[in-house]
Chain A
């Protein structure tokens, strides 16, 4: 476990923020996650890495969960604080031989967009479409990072997104060509439902294609 100094906190909404830390000699494969906690604390949680493989810093995108322990504490961290980073962990990763050849569909809910951001920042020339499921428009975290035509915001609580409804409803209305490589990240119920829809549309999903947060 290594101690990393916090460089900056970027608040994106009232509850969602990005912690930027020094990278030191940490290396990872885009899509992987770390566990994070205050130095010396036993309370640690998993967070996908938001930054790219080539960035010289490490970032995570976190939403403060109501009644949550660690996401609340981390929100109060300040530049200069030290956080313990362990990892990288996980198998949610792109296959080298597919990156420049295939068409990708990324489906994320909430902060589940974090590893997708890292995928795209690491491989900016990928051919992708990104479905981001949130409740309200303000949760389109750093939308400017994605090419406009490739990012589809699905808002379930208001009509302000590109699509009004859940990502699963979008998928039913807009079938996916069966040669698409799909990656799903975020809420378990979304993943479960989307998985079913995609399978029926002829998509073959392996274990590395899903990352369940909660």
Chain B
């Protein structure tokens, strides 16, 4: 039996695409092995959103090559688009597959073993041709509804590596959801690059969400990362639907209006707060998580302080912060007032502390409350999983099973960097 190993960097969309490709390999008799083990095929689904992600991708390429120099090494994802020439020039890499052809990775490898060598650019370029992710790595089943982005934020390289916004036909999405639910998925996660901008015929994002929520079945729906400009009151009205999970990852990027304008973001702080307040008026403990860029060109101490203040004010459940790094070809690359790396590091440290305190405060409020936990790992008596708010929960119970929902009473919290809620099954 041939062995295949995957490494995924970056966003959830990449994670979904890896899951789907992995299922494709498994359905065709490949054994999935951890990335640090010897395999016949290594697939690195790369990211290029920061310098650090490029660096990590390069390290994983080297690692795979060291483990088995004779393996078939495939590099796909955003770095494959952005640094194609460099990657194609490396002998140890067999195939550099751009995002458009990513869904064909299995076919490419299959052809390779049949002695046919195709150039990846000749493969199918359907952005939504991924099969289901039933044999993937997670109990959550991701469904891709959209790809690409037309927003052109000044820091962002995604439009040039993922391309223009394209939406998947609504019927395909509904069929996909029905099929994953029929196959036992208990949690469906909508994914894409900018899902709020979904537009197919006259259907918008809120129409998709509404129609999915109306489907039968024992599942809950999670919206992954979403831009604050992509939805209106209809979507907010759907947030108290029993199948909807109370969690949104709303990308803020900065707490300063001046910086948001220079980033060419499509909202200001007032609008962002309005959204958060509306959401929390539906459910006060709603988990809102976010992304922050630290040290964007021209970010002053005052701008940075505004960012820290808004994190405290809006009580984000989690902040995914990263230091701004120049991406070639973006408008921000040409901005003159780049922030010194040492200042970025200091600000990161400050922000990390603020975000950790806020996260602990946010999670503390769940002690004494109940969560419906979807179990991802269990030995029958102890289980780990995520509650509806997308908070990690560990609990004790009786005859616990993976991929089942359990009502759990939260009794305590373990105060790690990522504080885990501790609880007991409610019989």
Contact = CB atoms under 8 A, between A and B. Distances in A.
B376 interface: no
B264 interface: yes
Nearest to A196: B257
Given A89-B152, A207-B229, A212 B261 contact: yes
A28 interface: no
Interface string A19-47: 00000000000000000000000100010
Contacts of A212: 261-262, 264
Interface string B227-268: 001000000000000000000000000000110011010111
Interface residues of A, number: 13
B271 interface: yes
B267 A191 contact: no
Given A207-B266, A207-B267, A207-B271, A46 B257 contact: no
A202 to B, nearest CB: 14
Contacts of A103: none
Q: Label chain B's interface by main secondary structure.
A: loop
B154 to A, nearest CB: 8
Contacts, number: 26
B150 interface: yes
Contacts of A214: 331
Nearest to A211: B264
A48 interface: no
Contact of A188 (B152, B261, B268): B261
A46 B257 CA distance: 22
Q: Label chain A's interface by main secondary structure.
A: mixed
Nearest to B256: A192
Contact of A210 (B150, B229, B258, B261): B261
The size bracket of the interface on B is 10 to 19
Given A46-B152, A207-B229, A207-B271, A195 B266 contact: no
In this complex, which of B152, B261, B331 has the most chain A Cβ atoms within 10 angstroms of its Cβ?
B261
A181 to B, nearest CB: 17
Interface string B259-298: 0011010111001000000000000000000000000000
A210 B150 CA distance: 16
A206 B264 CA distance: 13
Contact of A89 (B150, B229, B271, B331): B150
A207 B266 CA distance: 5
Contacts of A89: 150, 152
Contact of B261 (A46, A91, A192, A206): A192
B258 A188 contact: yes
Contacts of B261: 188, 191-192, 210, 212
Nearest to B267: A207
B271 A192 contact: no
A42 B331 CA distance: 14
B340 to A, nearest CB: 21
Given A46-B152, A192-B257, A195-B257, A91 B262 contact: no
Interface in A199-214: 206-207, 210, 212, 214
Contacts of A207: 229, 266-268, 271
A191 B265 CA distance: 13
A195 B270 CA distance: 12
B296 to A, nearest CB: 12
Contacts of A188: 258, 261-262
Contacts of A191: 261
B56 to A, nearest CB: 26
Nearest to A192: B258
B266 A91 contact: yes
Interface in A53-87: none
Contacts of B329: 42
Contacts of B268: 195, 207
Interface string A89-104: 1010000000000000
Contacts of B271: 206-207
Contacts of B152: 46, 89
13 contacts: A46-B152, A89-B150, A89-B152, A91-B266, A188-B258, A192-B257, A192-B258, A195-B257, A206-B271, A207-B266, A207-B267, A207-B271, A212-B261
Given A192-B261, A207-B268, 9 more contacts: A91-B266, A188-B261, A191-B261, A192-B257, A195-B257, A195-B268, A206-B271, A207-B229, A212-B262
The 3 closest A-B pairs by CB, nearest first: A207-B266, A188-B261, A212-B261
